[in-house]
Structures are given as C-alpha cells and as structure tokens.
C-alpha cells in the first residue's frame, strides 16, 4: 500500500520506515498476547488454589456420613490391632483398658486405704546400731557449689 502511494518517487526510506512500524506493531501485539496468556494462566492457577483451600462445605448430612464412615474405619482398625495382639501372645493391656474391663479396680485403692493401708510399720531395730557406723568426719565433704565450677 505504501509502495503504491509513493510510486515514481524516492521511496526506500519511506518503505523501510513503514515496514519497521508494521514489525513493531506485530512484535507489540505478540508481547501483549503472551502477557495476557501469562496473566490468564496465573489467574487460573490462583482460582484452582482457592478451590483447593476452600474444601467442602460441612453440613449435618455430610458430617454424619463422614462420621459413620470414620467409625467403621476405626472399628476395623481396633479389630485388626486386637487380632494382632492376640496372635502375638498374651495381650498387654494399658491402665485405661484394665479399668474399662474390670470395674472392681475403681474402688480397689479406696478399699486398700480403708483396710489399713495408711498404717506404715517401721522396724526400729534397723536403726538401733547407727552409732556403730564408721562415718568419717575428717573426709571430704560434699559441696554442691564445687560441682558447678567444671
């Protein structure tokens, strides 16, 4: 188009300038498309991340369904664990499990104290010959402050 307008004139400079402007327009358009595509991808990634963090809205129905499933999984887990313990030999129960299985343990400590568990008998004969012990009073003495100086 520019060549037809300048037919018969010295037109090299005019044609080169026109081509240069057109190339600049094309390059700018390509840069704009790339930038728009980059922004679009970033926006999509951001929206996908928001969806991932948003999760599922908890309703009573959703919770009850999850709870039922969770309870089944936990019951199965307990059965497997108990089966493994039984196969391994005599199961070793925790204190909580002992109290849950044998309700007599709830009152056993109280029964012990009521039956005379508070009475502590001291055999004084063990302390009668304390003067006979060889306690070296001239020997080294223990000083806790000297231990910290290391």
For the segment 92-105, what is each residue's pLDDT rounded down to a tens digit? 778 888 778 777 77
What digits encode the pLDDT tens for the residues 5-15? 767 666 777 77
Please work out, in degrees rounded to the nearest 5, the angle formed at the alpha carbon of residue 104 by the alpha carbons of 102 and 107. Answer: 135
pTM, two decimal places: 0.31
User: What confidence category does residue 30 fall into, taking pLDDT thresholds of 50, 70 and 90?
Assistant: very high
Cα separation, 40 vs 96, in Å, equals: 58
The per-residue pLDDT for range 135-149, each reduced to its tens digit, is 655 556 666 666 655
Taking residues 59-73, what's their average pLDDT?
Answer: 95
Token pair 């004084």: residue: 124
């Amino acid at each position: 188009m520019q060549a037809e307008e300048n037919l018969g004139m010295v037109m090299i400079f005019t044609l080169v300038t026109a081509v240069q402007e057109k190339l600049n327009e094309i390059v700018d358009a390509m840069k704009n498309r790339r930038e728009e595509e980059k922004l679009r991808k970033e926006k999509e990634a951001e929206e996908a991340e928001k969806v991932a963090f948003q999760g599922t809205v908890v309703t009573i129905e959703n919770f009850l369904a999850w709870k039922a499933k969770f309870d089944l999984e936990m019951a199965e887990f307990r059965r497997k664990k108990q089966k493994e313990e039984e196969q391994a030999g005599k199961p070793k129960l925790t204190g909580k499990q002992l109290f849950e299985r044998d309700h007599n343990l709830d009152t056993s400590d109280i029964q012990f104290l009521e039956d005379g568990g508070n009475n502590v008998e001291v055999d004084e004969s063990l302390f009668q010959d304390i003067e006979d012990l060889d306690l070296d009073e001239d020997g080294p003495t223990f000083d806790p402050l000297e231990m910290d100086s290391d």
